[in-house]
Structure 1
Amino acid sequence: MQGQGDVEDMGNREVAEHGRSAGSGRSRLHGVVLGVPRFLVDGKPVSFRSRKAEGLLVRLCLTGDGRLSREMAANLFWQDSSEHHSRSSLRQTLLILRRALEDAGFDGLDSDKMNIRLDLERVTLDLEDLGTDGSDVPARLLIEKRLSERLFEGGEMLAEPFHNWLRLRRQQFHDQLRAFLEPMVRLDSGNWKRMEQAAVALLNLDPTHEPACRAFITARAVQGDYTGALRAYEDLWNVLEDEFDTQPSNETQSLIVDIKLGKFSDWLRRERMRLAEEAAQRAPASPATERTAGEHAPVVVQHVNPVIVVDQILQITEADQDIRLAKVFRHDLISRLVRFREWSVADEVTEELSRSAAPIYRVSISAMRAERSVSYSVTVKNSRTNAYVWGRNSAVDIGELFARQSMLVAEIAMAMNVNISAERLANMSRIPDASLDQYDRLLMGQRLHYTWKIEDSHQAEAILDRLIKDNPRFGPAYSSLAQIINSRHIVFPGQAQTPETLERSAGLARMALALDPFDSRGYLCAAWTLALQRRFEQAEAQHRQALELNDNDPWTALSAAHGLAYYGHREEALAIAYRHRENGLLTSPLHWSYFVGITCLCGDHAASIAAFRYLSDGYLGVEAWYVAALALTGEDEEARAQARHLKQRVTDRWVLPQPPDDADIARWIGNCFPISSPRTWDEIHQGLSSAGILLPADLAPEGATRR
């Protein structure tokens, strides 16, 4: 193994090489962002008088296009300051950054009143030296442990919003490295040396990565180094037991038993046969070696993630307290499952989901409470084969119930042959520090808001307010309260949405993300608040962050796609919506509401009309999409009839004493839809106006022609 001195030598060579590479033409900036950050212009070090200037430069380097709005930059470091102070501080920081770079000869940083831009064509980063688009394991991954955690070392001390962004970026970098390395540790990769190197790299990133450990053990055993194989197993056992109070999986233990019994060759033969059978099942029928003209190329079979459906819990008793416990237990389990992108979680098995190619697993739970303990049984059933693939009976103290949930997630994953390391499971399925009573109050608040009664919504707000006061570290309470505030004017026509209420919602969303920056649904909450505030660039960034965290959760993906549709990203939004429809993941009225809105906003009005049949009641705004889609496909008479029906329903639900006129209803509809795309606004305006609903001109985005 190479030591720290080797790493320093690599860094010195790196500096020299970048100095030599600077030839004629404009100067180039090189950033060393793994470890303590360093920047060089044509090989010469650049120093900054401000750590925030350095942080801003790193943030620009790691954007996709080198562009960052001034508002977003100010919020990274001075979120809690006044607007005047944050803008003034940003100007000073930019001045420091620009002067230091220009004094060193680099003029690729530019800004105007709205945006800051870095010319990324003249920027290189040490991240690129890892070469994750190649076929070899980069040497640095074999040397350093937990390299992803060293991205911009020390940056967590700058400001909380920057720290939250940095934590996410580190996790994304970790996932990129993992995705690059994991295919190399498969037994059918055929390259023992590369498999061993990839296993070492993965274990350096995450010492609890069991498939990597098995690959390393296998590679050493193939070479006859059984001592090294057993030592690796002992290391895995120790880290799992010491840090996570668990043991290696049965699969790993079985491999070690065969090695100790001298049956490794038998194990290797069985594994190769199993992999060959799996490959044969996945592969389409073999095409002919040559195809005549007009024949189609063979279909490429794409991987489809499994879908989990958690059934309602079967209770032995019907006491109110036991019913609440069952609902809380199920809600908490689902809230953990939706954080992983290895699968999707559906509300139920619909006809569309049954027709899809996705493997479907049903999780069934029965429970019985006895004083302060709970006995429960969990089974996982493969709905395609009707075979039960896993089951467990447990009895725990009520106080320990939620502490067992992360282990339950791991066991469900194992039943579906999905590998999740113990460390990643602990990071992604962390336990909120909340009591059973507090979980119960959270669910009660969420349920009350959607009874469609304004007095219940205010009671829900009061419940969540008290919950936050009782437990200021309970993140779901903040995001749930923000969702209530964001949606109240939509659920209850006539209820005003004010700058003050939106600012309160923004503060709640920020707190929720500060407590849990890996919650994709927390980013949705922040995104919709920003969209309602007409801060569209920041809203889009938050919607995209939610997608990056988990685009396999239907709620996350469809809600984010709805946002992208408002911002005019039609092809991208439609692709997400169609993928979820084709995979059978539109399993609730909420999902279909999003689908109707996305397809209408993006111009597929026929799909919007067809999808509307899945909705019978609920959110009134979705009927406006239906009206617009009908009008834009030439169904004028039906559109006008549906518009009259919509107006009557809005009037029936109007919460103000004075009944609304047509202008009031049109303004309510316009305020429900934060559209920033002029083209989209013009189309929706045309459709609704031809049906008799004229959107107010002052709500139109800049550049719209229909006002």
Structure 2
Amino acid sequence: MAGALDKRDSRDVIVAPQRRTILFADLVSYSRHVAKDEAETLRFMQRCFELFQDYSNRHDGRVVKTTGDGILALFGRAQSAVDFALEVQSQIESMTNDHVFRIGINTGLVELTNDDVFGHAVNVAARLEPLARPGGVCVSRDVVVELSEATRQNFDSLGPLRLYNLPGTYEPFQFDGGSDTPGKGGGGDVLHLSVIGGLELHTRGASRALPGTQDARLLLAYLAMAPSHSEAVGRLSALLRPDAAPNEAREATFGALKSLQETIGSSLVINDEVASLNPGLVQTDVGRIVRNAARGRLDDLLTIEGDWVPRLLSSFGEVNSAVTSWLALVRSDVREQLVFVLETEMQRIKAETDPAIRGIAQAILNIEPCHEGAARRLMSFLSGAGNVAGAIRVYDRLAQNLSVRYGLSPRPETLAASRGKPQSTPNLRNPLAPLRIQVRDFEGHSEGMHARLASFRSEIISGLSRFRSWSVVEGDQGELPDVSSDYLLKAQQSAGRSCATLTLCAAETGRIVWSEDLDIGAEQISKSRQQAVSRIAAMFEMYVPTDRAGKAGTGAHHAVVDDWLMGERLLTKWTKRAFEQGIDSFQDIIERAPEFAPAHASLASALNVLHVVRPGLRRDTAMARRALDASNIAVELDPLDARNRLALAWSAALKGNFDRAALNMDMAERLNPHSPRTLASCAMGFSFLGEHERAARVLEHCLNCAPVLLDYQWCYAASVRFMGGDDLGALQAAARSDDRIIDNPGWAAAALARLGRHAEAQTAFNKLVRDVSAVWDGETPPTPADVRDWFVNAYPIWHAAERVALAEALSAAMQGDG
């Protein structure tokens, strides 16, 4: 049968990656069932394993392995995997009232052996399983697009989510046919948590007391709103006590978790330094609103109230800066999810006279007042219904919001949709505003391609909107070049080809900054969108600072943002002189514009690595405090900028507060999963925190995002690969860095020593000594041992054993023998 899974033995040899559909099934509350009746639970699991084996054979799949409380299975087709899942769930429901499974399914490339399967697609499937309702099935978008129309209609989007410990954003789909009683088999009543406005807890319609301490209530809210409903205790400690000593913060956190567990019982589980809520036993009101919106059912809150998102979790009294920043991130995530599902539903409705348009468009405008697409649909509906005055009022509100926020006017087609002649609003430009990148309409040569390009454009706008260095503006803004924008992004499909040519040019002159062909054929577009967004973002990060610096050099007037970009460009040179100039520039910007957050973050980042650029310089308490203060200010000014989070993460790590560093490193990756700069720094950060598998995944994602890495980013990659045990990979990365950072030969020397290539290791180490000695900031020239000790202590490596291993490798390189 076409697509059937090959069941032949592979003799435990890993074969070339193949596209497969991966299924994880897991028994809900397995530990509780074992504790209650171990023998009966094991008998039940054995019956289920036999059932899984039988039904997988029927659907041309195979059970790869059992996991004690579940299975991992592979299928040749997504439809077969879903059919299997629905049938076994039905069979298990008929077998028992006390036991229930969750199932997660994903499709992608995997590496196969006889008794196991590996790959990123497997990790995604494993993260989807906990998102399924008890008795239900949760699948990825890649699975949904391969299903029959009849099956696909039974799945509802959960909106864009970030899966625990995985880079990027995913869109899970939930089968709308799971257990009628959420939490079946979970061993307790479902807790309904209200997070809009004041925090409230209900069970079976009756109010329940919240935990007695604010710390416990914060942890309940944090875990309920977390994408995976779980978090490491150390990161929770950094949230509750960001400035406390790690031991003191952990003690307070465990006390708060104990108080929370006394309130909600088995709904909270603490295993291996990770606290988790059972998603089948804890539900939030905002989660219900998002799920219903994805089905076209709008809560009154969406259509009647204005922007209600700032009211999320607004009942907490005085909180620390870490909690304040997390609250801002939660609200941003909810806003993004809702706009996503509402846009999807609005695009589904083709008729401008459909009454549903009014509610959906108004719901979008309530939380995104500058959303021109929603405004046009609403105005078209009102005008078609004869309410021209109402359409003009929508236009006036949109024009005012665009003017205040961006200094722009609505697009000509938006004006036409209003069928009125509102007064124009002056284009005022805030001198501290980020650069504007205007994404124009993408041009196709056929109706089908035009629709694909429109969808592709929407995805690009969504992805680029995460970058805080620029604002993304939709539309053409007239026929002439728009001097109120800095750059224009255009796309045009060539006749007879599935490629579209994307071009980034300067708005004032039309000068082309970057251009590239991208394949957006029907069979490729769902897989290439994410990569395309990342590649475009990488080009912006690479070319825009260079372009702005060149423009400023002509003597033209430049604003604060251009001065900051020139300072950032100086830092990429990784020289003592460039860093001194950069630090002076950032300090000058802060004096002129103290509310400009990027300057504070850049100052902190420069101070954090000054002891690397100037080896021998002692990183004293005052320097560490100065960097931490600057990064704290940056986060307080703009908690949703990934750069600010990175600066705070590194400042905290260098101060020895690794839990706080980990929390902010997580948030940085979550805020900007498409930025090569963010990803490269996060990968190195995770490696120093000891999270080597995650560091490798993030680095791989970074390499997929960026057409090329900058020289200094290859230095980062060398450290990630060495710390993760990939010595050959470390050598390859170091070779590509052109020794942009002075420490780079050290990673090559350490890797060569571990590979047993001692003569080469000594040569690399001697180069490190020569380079470092030439710029040494100490009072006397350094000895080789001084250089080794400087290198080992330059980085915030959390675990002592890993620091010792690095020192031993460098010592071997220094001696030139084994």
TM-score interval, normalised by the smaller of the two chains: 0.5 to 0.7
Alignment partner for residue 343 of structure 2, among 182, 186, 209? 182
| 2:222 pairs with 1:59 | yes
- Counterparts of 2:361 and 2:753 in 1: how far apart (Å)? 59
User: In structure 2, do the counterparts of structure 1 residues 471 and 563 end up closer, same or farther at CA, with 3 Å as the change threshold?
Assistant: same
Q: Is the 8 A contact 1:494 1:655 kept in 2?
A: yes
Per the TM alignment, residue 589 of structure 1 is displaced from its structure 2 partner at its CA by 2.0
1:383 equivalent to 2:515? Answer: yes
Structure 2 CA distance, aligned partners of 1:207 and 1:439? 26
Q: Quick one: structure 1 residues 234 and 491, their matched pair in 2 at CA, closer, same or farther if it must change by over 3 Å?
A: same
Q: Which residue of 1 aligns with 2:744?
A: 622
Q: Tell me the distance in 2 between the aligned counterparts of 1:678 and 1:133.
A: 49
2:765 to 643, 648, 656: 643
Rounded to whole Å, the distance in 1 between the matches of 2:500 and 2:605 is: 31
Separation of aligned partners in 1, 2:725 and 2:238: 35
The aligned counterpart of 2:315 is 154
Assess, with a 3 A threshold, how the Cα gap between structure 1 residues 87 and 606 changes in structure 2: closer, same or farther: closer
| Distance change (3 Å), C-alpha of 1:132 and 1:652 | same
Question: Deviation of residue 220 (structure 1)?
Answer: 6.6
Call closer, same or farther: CA 1:664–1:189 in 2, change over 3 Å: farther
2:395 corresponding residue in structure 1: 236
Distance 1:377 1:272 in 2: 25
Deviates more, 1:171-180 or 1:23-32: 23-32
Aligned residue in 1 for 2:675: 553
243-252 vs 274-283, which moves further:
274-283
Aligned length: 553
Distance 1:556 1:614 in 2: 19
Pairing 1:171–2:332 present:
yes
Partner of residue 198, structure 2: 36
Structure 1: gaps of 5 or more residues: 1-17, 259-269, 284-300, 310-332, 347-356, 366-375, 387-412, 417-434, 695-705
CA distance 1:198–1:565, change in 2 (3 Å): farther
C-alpha contact (below 8 Å) 1:19/1:44 kept by paired residues: no
SS in 2 for 1:132: helix
Deviation, structure 1 residue 545: 0.9
> In structure 2, what is the equivalent of residue 543 of structure 1?
665
Structure 1: how far apart are the matches of 2:256 and 2:334?
27
Q: Secondary structure at the match of 2:506?
A: strand
> Is 1:209–2:371 an aligned residue pair?
yes
Query: 1:581 aligned to 691, 703, 708, which one?
Result: 703
Question: Which residue of structure 2 aligns with residue 277 of structure 1?
Answer: 449
Question: Does structure 2 conserve the Cα–Cα contact (< 8 Å) formed by 1:341 and 1:552?
Answer: no
**Partner of 2:196: helix, strand, or coil?**
coil
Q: State the one-letter code of the partner of 2:328.
A: R
Q: In structure 2, what residue type is equivalent to 1:164?
A: S
Q: Please point out which of 596, 610, 624 is paired with 1:502.
A: 624
Structure 1 residues 379 and 195: alpha-carbon distance in aligned structure 2, compared to 1, 3 A threshold: farther
Q: Which amino acid aligns with 1:211?
A: G
Q: Does residue 1:515 correspond to 2:637, yes or no? A: yes
- Going from structure 1 to structure 2, the CA distance change for 1:195 and 1:684 (only over 3 Å counts) comes to farther
Closer/same/farther in 2, CA of residues 456 and 617 from structure 1, 3 Å limit: same
More displaced stretch, 164-173 vs 274-283: 274-283
Alignment of 1:361 onto 2:522: no
For residues 643 and 753 of structure 2, what CA distance do their matches in structure 1 show? Answer: 34
Residue 386 of structure 2 aligns with an amino acid whose one-letter code is: T
Q: Is the 8 A contact 1:213 1:233 kept in 2?
A: no
CA distance in 2, matches of 1:498, 1:112: 38
Amino acid at match of 2:637: L
Q: Are 1:125 and 2:284 an aligned pair? A: yes
**Which whole-Å deviations, capped at 9, do the CAs of 1:58-93 have from their partners, x for residues lacking one?**
123223555556765565466568999978977886
Between stretches 113-122 and 153-162, larger displacement belongs to: 113-122
Q: Which has the higher helix share?
A: 1
CA contact (8 A) 2:239 2:322 kept: yes
1:183 aligned partner, one-letter code: T
Matches within 5 A, 1:408-423: none
- 1:527 deviation in Å? 1.0
Q: 1:180 offset after TM fit, Å?
A: 2.2
Partner of 1:152: helix, strand, or coil?
coil
| Distance across 2 between alignment mates of 1:117 and 1:495 | 44
Of the structure 1 ranges 485-494 and 105-114, higher mean CA displacement relative to structure 2 is found in 105-114
Report if aligned partners of 1:479, 1:508 keep a CA contact under 8 Å in 2: yes
Q: Which amino acid aligns with 1:204?
A: N
The answer to whether the aligner puts 1:661 opposite 2:783 as a matched pair is: yes
Partner residue of 1:248?
410
Q: How does 1:459-608 map to 2 (within 5 A)?
A: 468=590, 472-608=594-730
Structure 2: distance between partners of 1:340 and 1:156: 34
Find the residue that maps to 1:34 and give its secondary structure. Answer: coil
Q: Determine what percentage of the aligned residue pairs are the same residue.
A: 23
Provide the rounded CA distance (Å) in 2 between the counterparts of 1:22 and 1:237: 51
Give secondary structure in 1 for the equivalent of 2:291.
coil
Q: 1:590 to 1:470 in 2, by over 3 A?
A: same
Give the drift of 1:648: 1.9
CA contact (8 A) 1:28 1:41 kept: yes
Partner SS state of residue 814, structure 2: coil
Relative to structure 1, the CA distance from residue 565 to residue 49 in structure 2 (aligned partners, 3 Å threshold; closer, same or farther) is closer
Change (3 A) 1:634 1:47: closer
Name the SS of the counterpart of 1:31 in structure 2: strand
Letter in 2 for 1:30: H
Q: Amino acid of the residue matched to residue 199 of structure 1?
A: A
Counterpart amino acid of residue 207 in structure 1: P
Report how far residue 32 of structure 1 moved.
0.7
Cα deviations across residues 252-291 of structure 1 (Å, max 9, x unaligned)? 2345569xxxxxxxxxxx99985423357899xxxxxxxx
Query: Partner residue of 2:522?
Result: none
Q: Take 2:193 and 2:467, find their aligned partners in 1: how far apart are those partners? A: 38
One-letter amino acid of the counterpart of residue 512, structure 1: A
Partner of 1:400: none
Any idea what the Cα deviations from partners look like across 1:321-354, whole Å, max 9, x if unmatched? xxxxxxxxxxxx9995457699xx99xxxxxxxx
Spell out, residue by residue over 1:1-49, the C-alpha distance to the aligned partner (whole angstroms, 9 max, x if none): xxxxxxxxxxxxxxxxx99999994454321112322112453321455
Change in CA separation of 1:640 and 1:159 when aligned onto 2, cut-off 3 Å: closer
Counterpart position of 1:352: none
Closer, same or farther: CA 663–199 of 1 in aligned 2, 3 Å: same
* Residues 1:531 and 1:81: Cα distance change in structure 2 (over 3 Å): closer
Distance 1:195 1:680, change over 3 A: farther
Question: 1:576 Cα shift?
Answer: 3.8
Equivalent residue letter for 1:184: E
The superposition leaves residues 302-338 of structure 1 with CA deviations (integer Å, 9 ceiling, x where unpaired) of 99859999xxxxxxxxxxxxxxxxxxxxxxx999545
Output the amino acid matched with 2:672.
N
- CA–CA distance in 1 between the matches of 2:567 and 2:443? 51
CA distance in 2, matches of 1:544, 1:210: 32
Q: Shift of the alpha carbon at 1:491?
A: 0.9
Give the 3 Å change call, closer, same or farther, for CA 183–448 of structure 1 in structure 2: closer
2:675–2:702 CA contact under 8 A, matched in 1 = no
- Give the deviation of 1:198 after TM superposition: 3.7
Task: Give the SS at the match of 2:386.
Answer: helix
Structure 1, residues 633-654: CA drift from partner, whole Å, max 9, x if none?
5654433322222222222222
Q: 1:306 to 1:566 in 2, by over 3 A?
A: farther
